[in-house]
Amino acid sequence: MIKYDWEKVQKICNFEPNDVVWYLAYKSGVYTKTLTYIVPVSKKLYTEAKRDPLPYGSSYILNPELLFSNTGQYNLKHIYEYVYLASLRGFFEWRVRGDCTLHATIAKAFDIDAIHNSLLTIENNIINFKYEQITTEVENGD
């Protein structure tokens, strides 16, 4: 799991979706040649990523290794949507209730009906994250 400050990550990456995906993958320890090939990154961002710690905050991804090691299978826009929507969830909700979903009303910037993302499923206005459910099932013994 990684915890991070979404706003600071966005700022560090100049609000560039590809850079955000690369940065979070790098900070998660998932730095592969495939990822570098898919997501070109500036020398400045690469230097900052090596030097500075990940800004700590209440945004989280439970299984960054699974998400970022499979970047070649998904559209980068979909991965960015995943991490953006994941940043809107409350860490407290997951810690106390084990709920790693997001209610669609919180994701106001997105037209939920327009999302066609194989990393996300939406049922009854609840957004489920593909690689977050794996941890929940393992922890619950399902």
The encoded tokens of residue 48 equal 């900052």
| Burial class of residue 36 (count of CB atoms within 10 Å of its CB; 0-12, 13-18, 19+) | middle
| Per-residue pLDDT at 107 | 74
| Per-residue pLDDT at 64 | 92
| Per-residue pLDDT at 91 | 86
Contact 71, 119 (CB under 8 A): no
Which residues span the domain enclosing 19? 2-140
Question: How many beta carbons lie within 10 A of that of residue 1, not counting itself?
Answer: 13
| Per-residue pLDDT at 47 | 87
**In 4-75, where does DSSP find H-type helix?**
6-12, 17-27, 33-38, 43-51, 64-69
| Per-residue pLDDT at 7 | 96
pLDDT in single tens digits along all 142 residues of the chain: 999 999 999 999 999 998 999 899 889 888 665 565 556 678 888 888 889 999 999 999 999 988 988 777 888 889 999 999 999 998 887 888 788 999 887 876 666 655 688 899 888 888 999 998 754 444 444 4
Phi/psi for 73 (5° steps) reads -90, -15
The encoded tokens of residue 13 equal 């990456």
| Per-residue pLDDT at 134 | 55
Q: Determine the Cα–Cα distance for residues 42 and 65; give it in Å rounded to an integer.
A: 23
Number of domains within the chain: 1
